[in-house]
Amino acid sequence: MTPHFSLAELTAQCQGLDNTLTPEALQRLALTAAMLERVGAHLGVPIIVTSGYSSRAVNAAVGGVTSSDHAIGSAVDIVAPKFGAPYAVAKTLAPHVNALSIGQIIYESVGGKHWVHLSTRTPDKPVNRVITISGKSTLVGIQEA
């Protein structure tokens, strides 16, 4: 897809479930990959995609929300261990969402695991553009969880 992100890397795998991209999802995933290139250049370190495109069936199987941007090719979850903890990554990226064409950034801290969710789709409510999800709580901005 791009110099640093392959289609396989941006597509979730779930044994036994069809995860074929629709033509529309493939177009959106190309925009997501381009955004990741900008994010990687900004951070100056490699990015690891931990979750990418997930068809509706795959999304449901992994417990994703029905409105997930992963299911339309617009979102990925990432870590960048050579940069630092996901909190540091999210805190660094948040002020640059416009310049990097990030529609939404979420620092997620769930069950002792931490990652950064990036989407090219901008939420309808501006307050949801930069948020933290910790367990069942949603907080405005990037907050330590």
Given a contact cutoff of 8 angstroms between Cβ atoms, the answer to whether 24 and 58 are in contact is: no
Strand extents, DSSP E, 4-136? 48-51, 75-79, 104-110, 113-119, 130-134
Question: For 4-18, b where at least 16 C-beta lie within 10 A, e where not — what string?
Answer: ebeeeebbbeeeebe
Predicted local distance difference test score (pLDDT) of residue 14:
77
How far apart (Å, rounded) are the C-alpha atoms in residues 82 and 14? 27
Predicted local distance difference test score (pLDDT) of residue 7:
95
Could you tell me the two tokens for 130?
């930069």
Three-class secondary structure of residue 8 per DSSP? coil
Query: What domains, with CATH codes, occur in the chain?
Result: 23-140 (3.30.1380.10)
Three-class secondary structure of residue 50 per DSSP? strand
If pLDDT is split at 50, 70 and 90, which confidence band does 16 have?
confident
Burial zone of 88 (CB within 10 Å; 0-12 exposed, 13-18 middle, 19+ buried): middle
Closest CA to 118 of 67, 89, 76: 76
How far apart (Å, rounded) are the C-alpha atoms in residues 62 and 100? 28
pLDDT of 66 over the 90 cut: no
Could you tell me the two tokens for 47?
């990015």
Predicted local distance difference test score (pLDDT) of residue 12:
77
Q: What is the mean pLDDT of the chain?
A: 94
How far apart (Å, rounded) are the C-alpha atoms in residues 27 and 92? 27
If pLDDT is split at 50, 70 and 90, which confidence band does 56 have?
confident
Per-residue pLDDT reduced to its tens digit, 32-53: 999 999 999 999 999 999 999 9
